[in-house]
Structure 1
Amino acid sequence: MKRVLDEDLSITLTQLEMETEATERIIEEHIESCYALTQHIDQQISELSTSQQKQPGQDKDTETEERISATLKHTDPELIHMDEFKNEQLLSLTINLLLFIRSQVPVTKKLFQSYASEVVLDPNSAHPKLIVSPEGDSVTYTDTWQEVPENAARFDTTLNAVSREGFREGRHYWEVLVDGKTYWELGLTYPSIPRKGSEEHCWLGRGADSWCVEYFNGWYNAWHRGAAHELTHVQGRAFQRIGVFSSAPGGLVCFLGAETMTPLYCFCTGTFTDRLLQAVCPGHDNQGTNWKPLEIVDASRSRPTL
C-alpha cells in the first residue's frame, strides 16, 4: 500500500508541476499584456495631463485620471496580501486537487485510449541497419547493413524510422513497448526532417521539426530544437510502455509512462505547420544490452497499473 501511495503521490506532484509550468507561462503572457496596457495607459495619462493645461474640462480629466490610477492599484500584484484565512483556503484547495488527480488515473487512461491511432512504420524510411516487421508494427536494430533500395525518404545516418501516414488534425494517442531496452528515442516529426548525412537535425528532437523523449541507461531527456530537458522526476525508473499524445487544436505533444499515466514531458508548440509522422529510434546495441525491438502496441486495449 505504501508503494502504491508513493507512486500515486509522485504522479500527482508531477502533474501539478506540469500544470504549474503551463500556468506560469500563461501568467507571464498576461503580465506582458498588462505591462503593454499599463504603458499605453501611462501615455494616455500623460496626454491628459498635457491637455489639462491647454483645454477646459480639467475637473473631468482629473476624475478620469483618478479612476485609471485606482484601477491600476487594484491590479498591482504587489498590493495583494495573503492572510491566514487565504492560506488555509489555498492549502485545502491543493489537497482536494491532489486527491482528485490521484482518483482520475483510470479515467485519464480511458480518455487517452479514446484517441488511440493506428501506427504503421514505413520500411522505405528506415535506416539500412534497421529491420521493420512486415506488419510495420516493430523495428529492430541489426549490426548488418541491409540490402535496401536507396530513396529520398530513407535515413542514412541516424537509426530512425517514421510512419507511413501520419496526421494533420485532431487528437491522437499511441504506445510503444520499450520493456527490456536500454536505449531508445520516440516522438513526432514533420516530413521535412533531414534524412541524409551527419547533420545534427537528422536526430529526433534536435531540430525545430521534431519532438522526442530519449532513454539511455536509466536517464530520460525530452528534446526539441536541440534543447535537452532532463526528466529528473523519473530518472532510474523503467517503464514498459511509453505513450505519446498529440493535440492539433491545443498544439500539444505529451509523453507518458503508459502503465500509470505518469507524465514525462509536455511540449506546448502552438500551431502545427505540417503533417505529423510518428517516429522511432530503437538505438544501437549499446554494448550488447539493447537488441530488443521497439514494438508499437494497441493503445486502445492497454490498461493502467495502479
Structure 2
Amino acid sequence: MYSKVGAKLTKEEMLLKHQQHLQRQRDVIAYRMKKLAAKQVEITKKNDVLKEKIKKRYEDMKRVLDEDLRITLTQLDTEHEAIEKLVEERIEDCYHLTQELDQELANISAQVKKDTQEVDMQNAETEKRISETLKLTDPDLIQLDEFKNEQLLSLTINLLLFIRSQVPVTKKLFQSYATDVVLDADTAHPKLIISSEGDSATYTDTWQDVPETPSRFDTTLNVISQKGFSEGRQYWEVEVSEKTYWELGLTYPSIPRAGREEDCWLGRGRESWCVEYFNGDYTAWHAGVHYELPLLAGKQFTRIGVYCSFPGGTVCFVGADTMTPLYCFCTGRFTDTLHQALCPGHDNEGTNWKSLKICDASRSAPVL
C-alpha cells in the first residue's frame, strides 16, 4: 500500500515538475513573442526611416531634374529669341527698302526729266541696294543648329535612362565642345601681362617694352587667341572670381587694333560679340548696340562660359557655375574665322587686379 502511494506521489511530482517546466517554457515563449513584437516595431521604424530617406533622395532627384529642365529650356528659348530678333531686323531692313522704292516710284516722272546719265547712276545705286538687301535677308541664312539640338535631345534621353549626377545637361553638352585656348601675346595691349602658357591675362600700370606690330591692340586692353576656328562648335570658360570689371567674347581678325578707342572695344563693331561686367552690372554688346541684363544685376559667377556654334551662327554666354544663360547672339552666318577674345579691364580704383584665367572647360569647377 505504501509503495503504491509513494509511486502515486512520485507520479504527481513528475506531473508537477512537468507542469512547472511547461509554464517556464510558456513564459519563455511569451517573452519571445514580446521580443518578436518589439523587433517588429523596430523593423517597421527602420523601414519607415529608410523609406523616408529614399523618398527624400527621389525628391532631390526630381528637384535636380526640374532645374535641369528649366536650364535646358531656357537655353533653347534664349537661342530662339536671338533668332527671332534677327528675323525681325531683316524684315525691318526689307520694309525700309520698300519705302525707299515706293518713294522712287513716286518720283519717276521727275526723274524722266533729268539727265539720262544721272538717272542711270541712280538706278544702278538702287539695284545695288536691292541686291545687298536681298543677299542679307536670305531666309536660308537664318537657321537653328539642328545637329546640336539633336545632340541635346539625345543627351536628355540618356539622362532618362541613367540618372546622372547633378550636372545640367547643357553643361554636359557644352563640355563636349570644350577647346584649348592659348592667348596670343603678340596681340595683347602693352599694359597686359600674358602668362608663358598663354592661359591668363593680367593688367599692369606699367607700359611694357613689347614689339609694335599691326596685330597688337594699343588703345584697348584686349588680347585674342593664337588660333581661330571657322567650323563646328567651340566652348571655353574663363575664371572671373574677385573681378569687378571684365569683357569676354569672340571676334573676327579684322577688329581694329588702333585708332578710335570705341572701334577697338569688344562688341562695339560688327567684328565682335561680348558680355561686359562692371561693378555688378552685366551688358551684352555687338555692332555698337548694348543690351543691359538687369535680371543678372548683383549676381557673381566663378566662371563664365562662351559657346559658339558656327553652323548655327550663335554666340551664347553662360554663368558656368550653374549654367545660367546670360545672353545669346544670333548672326545667321559667320563670314570669317573667329578668335576668342578677352579684356581683364583696368585696375578700377584698386578692385580689379586679379587675372582673367582660362580654365579647362571639359571639367566642372571643384566644389569649395
Matched, 1:210 2:210: no
- Figure out how many residues of one structure are paired with residues of the other and give that number: 235
Residues 212-241 of structure 1: CA deviation (Å, up to 9, x unaligned): 000000000000000000112211100110
SS of the aligned residue for 1:21 comes to helix
Deviation of the 1:22 alpha carbon? 4.5
Residues 93-134 of structure 1: CA deviation (Å, up to 9, x unaligned): xxxxxxx9xx99622111100000000000000000000000
Matched, 1:120 2:190: no
What are the ranges of 5 or more consecutive residues in structure 1 without an aligned counterpart?
36-99
Q: Contact between 2:72 and 2:170, CA under 8 Å: does it hold in 1?
A: no
What are the ranges of 5 or more consecutive residues in structure 2 without an aligned counterpart?
1-59, 96-159
Alpha-carbon distance between aligned partners in 1 of 2:220 and 2:359, rounded to the nearest angstrom: 23
Residues 291 and 165 (structure 1), Cα distance of their counterparts in 2 relative to 1, 3 Å cut: same
Q: Contact between 1:109 and 1:303, CA under 8 Å: does it hold in 2?
A: no
Matched, 1:227 2:289: yes
Task: Return the index of the structure with the highest Cα Rg.
Answer: 2
Deviation of the 1:197 alpha carbon? 2.3
Per the alignment, residue 300 of structure 1 pairs with 362
Q: Contact between 1:260 and 1:304, CA under 8 Å: does it hold in 2?
A: no
Alpha-carbon distance between aligned partners in 1 of 2:218 and 2:232, rounded to the nearest angstrom: 31
Residues 22 and 118 (structure 1), Cα distance of their counterparts in 2 relative to 1, 3 Å cut: same
SS of the aligned residue for 1:109 comes to helix
Cα RMSD between the aligned structures?
Answer: 3.0
SS of the aligned residue for 1:201 comes to helix
Per the alignment, residue 81 of structure 2 pairs with 21
Per the alignment, residue 299 of structure 2 pairs with 237
Deviation of the 1:7 alpha carbon? 8.0
Alpha-carbon distance between aligned partners in 2 of 1:207 and 1:30, rounded to the nearest angstrom: 18
Deviation of the 1:135 alpha carbon? 0.2
Q: Which has the higher helix share?
A: 2
Q: TM-score, normalised by structure 1?
A: 0.70
SS of the aligned residue for 2:168 comes to helix
SS of the aligned residue for 1:108 comes to helix
Q: TM-score, normalised by structure 2?
A: 0.58
Per the alignment, residue 267 of structure 1 pairs with 329
Deviation of the 1:9 alpha carbon? 9.7
SS of the aligned residue for 2:329 comes to strand
Residues 249 and 222 (structure 1), Cα distance of their counterparts in 2 relative to 1, 3 Å cut: same
Matched, 1:106 2:202: no
Per the alignment, residue 141 of structure 2 pairs with none
Per the alignment, residue 317 of structure 2 pairs with 255
Q: Give the counterpart letter for 2:211 in structure 1.
A: P
Per the alignment, residue 16 of structure 2 pairs with none
Residues 147 and 179 (structure 1), Cα distance of their counterparts in 2 relative to 1, 3 Å cut: same
Residues 129 and 105 (structure 1), Cα distance of their counterparts in 2 relative to 1, 3 Å cut: same
